[in-house]
Amino acid sequence: MGWFSAPEYWLGRLVLERGAAAIYLIAFVAAARQFRALIGEHGMLAVPRYLAGQSFWRSPSIFHLRYSDRIFAGVSWFGAALATAMVAGLADLAPLWAAMLMWLTLWVLYLSIVNVGQAWYSFGWESLLLETGFLMIFLGNGRIAPPVLTLWLVRWLLFRVEFGAGLIKLRGDRCWRDLTCLYYHHETQPMPGPLSWFFHHLPKPLHRIEVAGNHVAQLVVPFGLFAPQPVASVAAGIIVLTQLWLVTSGNFAWLNWLTIVLAFSAISPPWIAPPTLPGPPLWFAVLVIAFTAAILALSYWPARNMLSSRQRMNMSFNPFHLVNTYGAFGSIGRVRREVVIEGTDEPKITRQTVWKEYEFKGKPTGLRRLPRQWAPYHLRLDWLMWFAAISPGYASPWMTPFLQRLLRNDPPTLRLLRHNPFPDSPPRYVRAQLYEYRFTTPAELRRDHAWWHRTLIGRYVPPMSLRKGAFGTT
């Protein structure tokens, strides 16, 4: 079965597998550190309450068997430990069947988390990690040559990520077609990074070149992934460079890093001689062929979605998150709005009441604080606060529980924040105000030493308090 093996892609497989394991590690650690306040037994969107209305086949998860915060923490930290071992190369030391079982375990554990995560896990990069992780089961380990069919499936995934994102832009906001979207995007994106202010202030002609280059990278270059070498390697290299550009300009969790990892499925450096690796056992070849046929069948729905004029972004067509459709930023906001949470310990609210702000780790709050680089780590609350500013209805299931927990100085909730202005005792009241934020100009930065300027739009949530054990408003 010489056609089945592609030993020249041994380096690409090494980067693929170690990179996917590293992203798994980050994802499991993020789950372990954030889940109690978000989806724990007493969380804003508690898992037990969610599972009570779900069947296993609608949301496959091992937590249908039993849920507790201790079990969730154990699953998360065990997943992190196994992923760490995979990064260190454990799968290459194990028999092929054991390596496959390790990858399957990681996938089952993370699928179980995503399928109970509700709004906090509704991002496209969750599905991307699960789809990538499932492909890793059939990529083999260092004991055999990489199977060419699985490598082609990885490229097909990368093609859908890039081409789908390009199409959603071309069909979406007009500013993508007139090349002006980056006049606004660096300022209005969900979580700017430390260089976003500088990107925003690049000359507008350069912004137009950036958009045009993005269209080429996402709508033309992906076809080169299926071309012979060295064209496929060049196409993959262009994708890597464009993704690194995105990494430096914002915080998009592990989306860009995982896309970079996927690109190595098409990279085969001619100056590095491939090692001598044996072909696969027959049982593995049969499994890979059957798996390839199944993926091709499941590809009908995402392919149809990409070709549709009503293309949808970041959608899974099955509860196992296999063969999904991807895309982001079909529309670009021209104005940035932020929800600012405030509290007071005064017993009565008057016009003179002093309100103190809660500061978040990633989303803009303090005007003089330079945004930090968090990606590939994912701050789930900060991301959803961006959506909350756009659509109050989107935040309605969890905003009130969030404010309730601030009124109690709930430790797991406060650990999601950068600064609690009431460290000694909880506030009497909390409220949410809606502001318009914009990056300062270079002149304003020099004068005020502030990266942001903001203007109050109005009230988002009126002052709220806990009274006699009940949650009330005033």
Closest C-alpha among 115, 103, 138, 19 to residue 67: 115
Helix 10-38, helix 124-136: angle, nearest 10: 140
Confidence grade of residue 472 (pLDDT, cut at 50, 70, 90): very low
Query: What is the spatial distance between Cα 451 and Cα 336, in angstroms, rounded to a whole number?
Result: 14
Q: Which pTM was predicted?
A: 0.95
Residue whose pair of structure tokens reads 């709005």 in the numeric block: 337
For Cα atoms 156, 161, 163, give the angle at the middle one, nearest 5 degrees: 85
Is the N-terminal amide bond of 230 cis, ω within 30° of 0? Answer: yes
pLDDT confidence of residue 279: 87
pLDDT confidence of residue 433: 97
The string of pLDDT tens digits covering residues 152-188 is 999 999 999 999 999 999 999 999 999 999 999 999 9
- For residue 278, CA distances in Å to 5, 13, 152, 283, 359 come to 9, 15, 20, 14, 56
Residue whose pair of structure tokens reads 């554990």 in the numeric block: 109
The string of pLDDT tens digits covering residues 12-47 is 999 999 999 999 999 999 999 999 999 999 999 999
Query: What is the spatial distance between Cα 97 and Cα 78, in angstroms, rounded to a whole number?
Result: 20
User: Quick one: CA torsion of 18, 20, 23, 25, rounded to 10 degrees?
Assistant: -60
Go through the chain and tell me how many residues it has: 474
Q: What is the residue-wise DSSP string for 346-398?
A: -SS--TT---EE-EESSS--STTPPPPP-TTS--HHHHHHHHHHH-HHHHHHH
The string of pLDDT tens digits covering residues 252-290 is 999 999 999 999 999 998 888 778 888 899 999 999 999
Q: What is the residue-wise DSSP string for 316-346?
A: -SSTT--S-B----SS--SSEEEEEEEEE--
pLDDT confidence of residue 1: 63
Query: What is the spatial distance between Cα 286 and Cα 289, in angstroms, rounded to a whole number?
Result: 5
The string of pLDDT tens digits covering residues 55-101 is 999 999 999 999 999 999 999 999 999 999 999 999 999 999 999 99
The string of pLDDT tens digits covering residues 374-413 is 999 999 999 999 999 999 998 999 999 999 999 999 999 9
> Residue 403's Cα: distance from chain center in Å?
25
Q: Are 428 and 465 spatial neighbours (Cβ–Cβ below 8 Å)? A: yes
Residue 473 has pLDDT above 80, yes or no: no
Q: Exposed/middle/buried for 35, CB within 10 Å: 0-12, 13-18, 19+?
A: buried
pLDDT confidence of residue 276: 84
Confidence grade of residue 417 (pLDDT, cut at 50, 70, 90): very high
| Residues above pLDDT 90, as percent of the chain | 91
The string of pLDDT tens digits covering residues 344-367 is 999 999 999 999 999 999 999 999
Q: Are 314 and 127 spatial neighbours (Cβ–Cβ below 8 Å)? A: yes
Query: What is the spatial distance between Cα 290 and Cα 293, in angstroms, rounded to a whole number?
Result: 5
The string of pLDDT tens digits covering residues 295-330 is 999 999 999 999 888 888 888 999 999 999 998 888
Q: How many CB atoms within 10 Å of residue 180?
A: 17
